[in-house]
Structure 1
Amino acid sequence: MNIALFGGTGRVGRAFLKTALEENRHVRMLARDPQQVEAHAQIIEGNARELASIEKTLTGCGAVVSCLGTDGNDTLTVAVPLIISAMKKEGIKRIITIGTAGILQARTSPDLYRFQSGESRRTLTRAANEHLNAYLSLKESGLEWTVVCPTYLPDGQLTKEFRVAEDFLPEDGKQISAEDTGYFAYKVLAEDLYVKKRVGIAY
């Protein structure tokens, strides 16, 4: 199965790409600047905010992985609905995206998202709202989606040892490396795990 990858130049995206290529997967990756990509993926030059670029990336693929971040703007709000539209046109059902632990449910107030509760230490909510918009678009899409939701992402190493929980952050979860997050996203895709679920990941 060929994989369409968005956001592959970020830390989590690079980790996902490394794992996918080590598993001998063929990856078609959209990049604004192909010179940033060192891995042996098939690079499509373009922008995730443009439908034509997304459609070109999806050609011949059986699944989509989006590691797009907020980039300080509305990239997710714009790109995710375009990806969903292009997937439906191409007949692709499976998509894995990287979210944030802020859009998981709060353990102390399960009717709230973590970023709306006292569980989140972040005072700025713009990025969380962007991730929430993406999640809600996926939830209403009819696609087979999974949103991987890491907590604090410091630089780290691949350990392949972490905890996960559906729709919540693992209890007392404080951090997770980009390397383990990317690895887990690949595992979710390869093993078809957590369909139509958000999944929190932390050490």
Structure 2
Amino acid sequence: MEGADQAMNISIFGATGRVGNRLLPMLLSSGYSVRALARSPEKLKSHPSLQVIEGNVLTDKDVQTTISGTDIVISTLGTDKQNTLQRAFPLIIDAMIQENVQRILSTGTAGILNARRDPAIFRFETNESKRRSTTAARDHAEACKLLQQSPLNWTIACPTYLPEGEASGIFRTGADFLPEDGKSITTGDTALFLYRLVSGEESFHRRRAGLAY
């Protein structure tokens, strides 16, 4: 990557998480400048191109400070039983609009891809999804709807079963659907897909991307 790509400034939410902590070194090693919001900054290793902001994604001032002056936003935030995603994304979207930042990349779950038998509904609403609990998928779905209703240029990476593992660079993608018979993909390859979106190797503009081997 040369020139303008290396000068790109990136803001990231969820850098200490399972996918975020694999993506962050990829970005930094490629010359990007990164600003990360973290509740526990000590979990992130210092780097000349990394600015860490201590704060909370549910605090609008912290979100806006993180996004201000950057070119692209990445969210690898996880979900919980407190609806963190659907509470955080309105703040992220509003800050992006105020700061005139158009591109956002996010992680989701395969449960919010289209069901093959009925593409009008999410996979988690059918027996295509094997998870018993739908709490996490519903939180991701609400965040997805917020992005769909926004004017932003978004992409949601939607991995299926997500074990820890290194990036192989060999995986399948599907626009709005999970690749046929997809069973798993590692945190490393999910991070690599996001990296490819940043670099322009992949696009999926205003689409969900199903990820699997």
Regarding TM over 0.5, the answer is: yes
1:37 counterpart = 2:49: no
Per-residue CA deviation, residues 74-127 of structure 1 (Å, 9 max, x unaligned), is: 110110110000000000000000000000011122222110111100111111
Partner of residue 12, structure 1 = 19
Q: Distance between the aligned counterparts of 2:172 and 2:23, measured in 1?
A: 18
Alignment partner of 1:11: what SS?
A: coil
Q: What amino acid does structure 2 have at the position aligned with 1:27?
A: V
Q: How many residues align?
A: 203
Deviates more, 1:110-119 or 1:90-99: 110-119
Deviation at 1:17, TM superposition (A): 0.7
Any residues of structure 2 matched to 1:48-197 within 5 Å, and which?
Answer: 48-191=57-200, 193-197=203-207
Q: What amino acid does structure 1 have at the position aligned with 2:212?
A: A
Q: 2:210 aligns with which of 161, 175, 200?
A: 200
Q: Is the 8 A contact 1:18 1:39 kept in 2?
A: no
Q: TM-score, normalized by length of structure 1? A: 0.97
Q: What amino acid does structure 2 have at the position aligned with 1:198?
A: R
Q: What amino acid does structure 1 have at the position aligned with 2:124?
A: F
Q: Which runs of 4+ in 1 moved over 4 A?
A: none
Q: Is the 8 A contact 1:31 1:46 kept in 2?
A: yes
Q: 2:34 aligns with which of 6, 21, 27?
A: 27
Q: 1:47 aligns with which of 44, 56, 77?
A: 56
Q: Distance between the aligned counterparts of 1:160 and 1:92, measured in 2?
A: 29
Alignment partner of 2:19: what SS?
A: helix
Q: Structure 2: 5+ residue runs without aligned partners?
A: 1-7
Q: Distance between the aligned counterparts of 1:136 and 1:110, measured in 2?
A: 15
Q: Distance between the aligned counterparts of 1:53 and 1:2, measured in 2?
A: 17
Sequence identity (%): 46
Q: Distance between the aligned counterparts of 2:55 and 2:63, measured in 1?
A: 8
Q: Structure 1: 5+ residue runs without aligned partners?
A: none
Deviation at 1:189, TM superposition (A): 2.0
Deviates more, 1:159-168 or 1:64-73: 64-73
